[in-house]
Structure 1
Amino acid sequence: MIIVRRFASLLFMAIMIPLTLMTVVGMTLSLTVLKPDFLKNGLDRSGVYELPFQPDTADLVIETISEDGEFPIPKAELVNIVYDLQEELYPILGPDYIRSKVEPIIDNFYAWMLRDTSDLSLEITIDSDVLDRVVTHTEEAIFNQLENLPECAGALDLESLDSLDCIPQGFNKTQVRQILEQSGVDYTAIIREQLPEKINLSDQIIQSETYPQLLLIRQYIADSQQILQFAFIIDLLLFVAIATLNRHRWPVWGGVALILNGVIPTLLGLVVQIAIPAVVTVQRLQSSQEIPVFVQPIIISIVNYLGSEIGLRLLLVGGIPLVLGISFLILPKYLNTAEQPLP
């Protein structure tokens, strides 16, 4: 009979290990990846909202426009325009403004993925006042650069097209003339007519090739929640069964069962904390020509945050049964020692 009880206990322990691992991993993902605040914090820490205002971004814009060959202003003057414009737009389109547009989209997307809502509603509102200020600053940056050309010594009059003769070589005078002729045009109104009041990202996602995969992930998340609850209940019942089969020595058997179930998640947490940052390194990203150099630190920051947070949660959640198991093994010995009469 003792052999049967021990065999059953070992069998139950073997079944508990994958169930506990599944439960711990599921709980960890629920506390991290499946929380919108997790993604928000990761984006904040990575500095992604600062990306449009970094010098490397300005250099990329300058190179892209210069290679196009259709912009009427030479690269030397274009550099000043882009950097001045980047500085002027920072108070308008800075990190706080970008964050205010991105975070509601994250909240709505998570609500849809977690089935808190059945409607995928991802919209970006175009603020008219912000659009007006962006267009105004862009016009001013271009016109100020033309007015301050040293070759013209301040003689360039934006109201007089004849004063264009002072513009040095490298400029496309015809296109510059067209720009000045249209200086009174309300570009804001034209852009506003071409842009909708809201940009609907939902339609783009639904029409994309990744939408079927998103539906599968959404269904998997819903199913996994029920599976994890069932696995946790079965795990708990197996632990009770082990303690019942070995009721005379249940602290020992219960402690061993908890230790075995806590060791693997704890080790997995250590591996995740070490392995994920080690996989995505600067050297690996630099070998990829598709990822711009100035974006690589942001990717590394997000990956490090992902590995650190998930690994830490695995350590904490997996460490609970490990600590309880050790306590079950030590506490009875301590109590027995404490109950012994003094000589």
Structure 2
Amino acid sequence: MHVLKKIILGVCVVLFGPAMALLGMSIAFNQTIGQPTFVKQVLREAQLYSTLSELAIDHLQLDANNQQTGLITQAMQETITPDVVQNNLEQILDDVYAWLDQDTPTLEISVNIQPIRDSFVANLRPKLSAELASLPECSYANPPTSSDPLSANCLPPGTDVNAVAEQAIQEIINSGEILQQNEISSQDLDATFAENNTSVSGDTETSTQKPEPINGPALEQGATLYRLA
């Protein structure tokens, strides 16, 4: 039940990545792309938000044999729209430039994931209920092959499909601590990837090093150059 976690991480990756790339370019070329209004206009004209929306959807890789893959993809397409990407990325850009212009003392960028999470759940719920309602009853000749509603081939007689769908959705939401938050910062994202990259071999556990703060010495030095330009 890590579907929603992958969706949220995918969205954050495609938002934080371009934002940090633009930050570096702004530091290097203050006079040309050092203004947020200019950057936003260029991004709109280049239709980057549509591209990032597609990248966020492609980030989610599901088992091709999962019969619910189409439902999740449809719900994602209805959730991670170019407008959603644009609103979040432009907010990140505003935060970045506020720090570069010394309107805020520290660089703190984050994504408000609550609307994304709630929208995905709202889009998935009726689709999942309808799909479950179309499944045949389980029987001796047609036994269940999975206890996961997202990959069920049948349902026991008398099953409340709405209750099953709701239970599945709650399991998705409760599948990771990061999904309980209303916002995800770049530091949260680094920590989550570090946790996911932890490998366990026998009794020996190896984890990645704790990520450095986003506003480290190198970035502070670059920001100083931006302000002097």
SS at match of 1:173: coil
SS at match of 1:199: strand
Structure 2 CA distance for partners of 1:163 and 1:212, relative to 1, 3 Å: farther
Distance across 2 between alignment mates of 1:177 and 1:127: 23
Distance across 2 between alignment mates of 1:191 and 1:87: 22
Q: 1:66 aligns with which of 20, 38, 63?
A: 63
Say if 2:75 is the partner of 1:85: yes
Per-residue deviation, residues 211-237 of structure 1 (Å, max 9, x unmatched): 3321111122233x3xxxxxxxxxxxx
Aligned length: 170
Report what 2:93 is aligned to. Answer: 106
1:88–1:137 CA contact under 8 A, matched in 2: yes
Report what 1:23 is aligned to. Answer: none
SS at match of 2:148: helix
1:44 Cα deviation from its structure 2 partner: 1.8
Matches within 5 A, 1:31-50: 31-50=31-50
Report what 1:133 is aligned to. Answer: 119
Structure 2 CA distance for partners of 1:110 and 1:204, relative to 1, 3 Å: farther
- Let me know the Cα RMSD of the aligned residues: 4.1
Structure 2 CA distance for partners of 1:215 and 1:58, relative to 1, 3 Å: closer
Report what 2:3 is aligned to. Answer: none
Given residue 33 of structure 2, which amino acid in structure 1 is its aligned partner? V
Per-residue deviation, residues 257-287 of structure 1 (Å, max 9, x unmatched): xxxxxxxxxxxxxxxxxxxxxxxxxxxxxxx
Distance across 2 between alignment mates of 1:204 and 1:192: 13
Structure 2 CA distance for partners of 1:131 and 1:165, relative to 1, 3 Å: farther
SS at match of 1:183: helix
Matches within 5 A, 1:1-343: 29-51=29-51, 53-54=53-54, 61=60, 64-66=61-63, 74-75=65-66, 77-89=67-79, 93-127=80-114, 130-148=116-134, 156=136, 162=138, 172-176=145-149, 182-185=164-167, 187=170, 190=174, 194-201=179-186, 207-208=212-213, 211-223=216-228, 225=229
Normalised by the length of structure 2, the TM-score is: 0.54
Per-residue deviation, residues 147-206 of structure 1 (Å, max 9, x unmatched): 44xxx6xxx36xxxx369658xxx843334997784343618747974222223367688
SS at match of 2:111: strand
1:36–1:106 CA contact under 8 A, matched in 2: yes
Structure 2 CA distance for partners of 1:125 and 1:177, relative to 1, 3 Å: closer
Given residue 40 of structure 1, which amino acid in structure 2 is its aligned partner? K
Report what 1:299 is aligned to. Answer: none
Unaligned runs of 5+ in 1: 1-27, 68-73, 226-343
Given residue 63 of structure 2, which amino acid in structure 1 is its aligned partner? S
2:111–2:184 CA contact under 8 A, matched in 1: yes
SS at match of 2:184: strand
Normalised by the length of structure 1, the TM-score is: 0.39
SS at match of 1:207: coil
Distance across 1 between alignment mates of 2:215 and 2:150: 46
Given residue 81 of structure 1, which amino acid in structure 2 is its aligned partner? L
Unaligned runs of 5+ in 2: 1-27, 153-160, 191-210
1:108–1:120 CA contact under 8 A, matched in 2: yes
1:35 Cα deviation from its structure 2 partner: 1.1
